[in-house]
Amino acid sequence: MSHILEVEGLTTVFDGDGGQMTSADGISFYVDPGEIVCIVGESGCGKSVTSLSLMSLLGRGGKVRAGKALFEGRDLLSMSEKELDKIRGDAVTMIFQDPLTSLNPVFTIGRQITESIRVHMHLDKEAAFKRAVSLLEKVGMPDAASVMKKYPHLLSGGQRQRVMIAMALSCRPRLLIADEPTTALDVTIQAQIMQLLKELQKDLGMAVILITHDIGLVAQMADRVLVMYAGQIIEQAPVLRLFDEPGHPYTQALLRSVPSIPRFSGSREEVLAAQEADGKRLESIQGVVPEHYDRITGCRFADRCPYEEERCHEPQEEVACGPAHVARCWKTARLEQTDGMTQEKEG
């Protein structure tokens, strides 16, 4: 199968007061048609920078210094604004964490959705209106016709995110990039929106890149997982493989912080109680993501890693540690071969 997206060596820098910072460093991955790929990692690891780079939405001070991002064989990173405009919000769309900042406060929901439909689907006003209402119904919006007349601030966070999803789907994208789409929402609403995204993804057969800092979400949503740490992808694997045999010590630590009880089942009270119980048991990772991580020449996780030793301070390449599974840690591969990771973990 040919990949729908193939990213190779994506490197993004920001100019700041303290000089230049390489926020995403040599990012390489692929997404297949109809696949859900999750990018997971703690806050500040370069997940958003990676997705914004793909769409050329970095804003002031940020630029892509190297790399390719082939979408259906064409490099998004070397396209003109005009070419990109044809793709963005059409074949590829993005949804973000805070829908209020993405919606225009002075226009009604109806106007914003119909405009987006008219631009991309070349429908007349009436047809676009009908399609907008049916999209809102599809994303589970109660009383869709009256929501069309409302302004964004009158909707709840969950309703606004449904509107954003409706807009993102209005032109039947082949790739949807969702950057922490439910982080700002209540846990039960979060579950509903994720369920909705998964159903729509199946229905439309679109590929999804889902960015999250929540490894629990990954378990429910992903086909394949990319783990990011300090500007690099440090592990890639199919989801079951990652949960069964995490290779990189950072991933192992992330997994130890996953609640054991499925978080999204039961009533709101049950979910919250389960989370609280888990919270008492969970182990969080000691320390923080280093601030100027691009200045570290060796393993960027070394200062937090229980297995750190001298060789860890040399540059780390991705090494194969299983089928479709790589990790950026020399020790993972060695321990895997000698079957010693378990011993070391226990020891």
Ligand X SMILES: Nc1ncnc2c1ncn2[C@@H]1O[C@H](COP(=O)(O)OP(=O)(O)O)[C@@H](O)[C@H]1O
Buried b vs exposed e over 152-176: b needs ≥16 C-beta within 10 Å? Answer: beebebbbbbbbbbbbbbbbebbbb
Give the DSSP letter of residue 149: T
The reply to whether 316 sits near ligand SF4 by the rule CB under 6 A is yes
Residue nearer to ligand SF4 on the CB measure, 140 or 298: 298
Give the number of other Cβ atoms within 10 Å of residue 296's Cβ. 16
Tell me the CB-side half-sphere exposure of residue 139, using CA atoms within 13 A.
25
Residue 264 to residue 243: CA distance in whole angstroms: 18
Q: Could you give the CA distance from residue 231 to residue 228 in angstroms, rounded to a whole number?
A: 7
CB of 42 to Mg ion, least distance (A): 10
Please, what's the b/e burial string for 13-32 (b: 16 or more CB within 10 A of its CB; e: otherwise)?
bbeeeeeebbbbbebbbbbe
Per partner kind, with CB cut-offs from 5 to 8 A, the member of Mg ion, ligand SF4, ligand X, none near residue 44 is ligand X
Pair 158, 137: CB distance under 8 Å? no
Stretch that binds ligand SF4, among 67-75, 176-184, 207-215, 299-307 (CB under 6 A): 299-307
- Write down the least CB distance from residue 192 to ligand X, Å: 24
Number of residues lying near Mg ion (CB under 5 A) = 1
- What is the Cα–Cα distance from 19 to 5, expressed in whole angstroms? 32
Structure-block tokens of residue 31: 């997404």
**CB closer to ligand X out of 41 and 247:** 41
35 to 64, contacts with Mg ion by CB under 5 A? 48
- By CB under 6 A, the count of residues binding ligand SF4 is 13
* Smallest gap from residue 55 Cβ to ligand X (A): 13
Residue 301 site contact among ligand SF4, Mg ion, ligand X, none (CB < 5 to 8 Å, cut-off depends on kind): ligand SF4
Q: Which burial class, exposed, middle or buried, applies to 60 when counting CB atoms under 10 A from its CB (0-12, 13-18, 19+)?
A: exposed
Kindly indicate which of the ranges 47-55, 99-107, 288-296, 329-337 contains the residues binding ligand SF4, using the contact rule CB under 6 A: 329-337
Closest separation in Å from C-beta 57 to ligand X = 11
| Chain residues that interact with ligand X, rule: CB under 6 A | 14, 16, 23, 41, 43-49, 59, 61-62
- As measured in angstroms, the least distance from the Cβ of 251 to ligand SF4 is 9
Cβ nearer to ligand SF4, comparing 214 with 336: 336
* CA distance linking residue 145 with residue 136, whole number of Å: 9
From the list ligand X, ligand SF4, Mg ion, none, partner contacted by residue 53 (C-beta under 5 to 8 A by kind): none
Start-end of H helices in 97-214: 99-102, 109-121, 125-138, 144-147, 157-169, 187-204
Residue 333 phi, psi (nearest 5) = -65, -45
The item of ligand X, ligand SF4, Mg ion, none sharing an interface with residue 299, based on CB under 5 to 8 Å by kind, is ligand SF4
The reply to whether 253 sits near ligand SF4 by the rule CB under 6 A is no
Question: Can you give the binding site for Mg ion, defined by CB under 5 A?
Answer: 48
Residue numbers at the binding site for ligand SF4 (CB under 6 A) = 248-249, 299, 301-302, 305, 307-308, 312, 316, 329-331
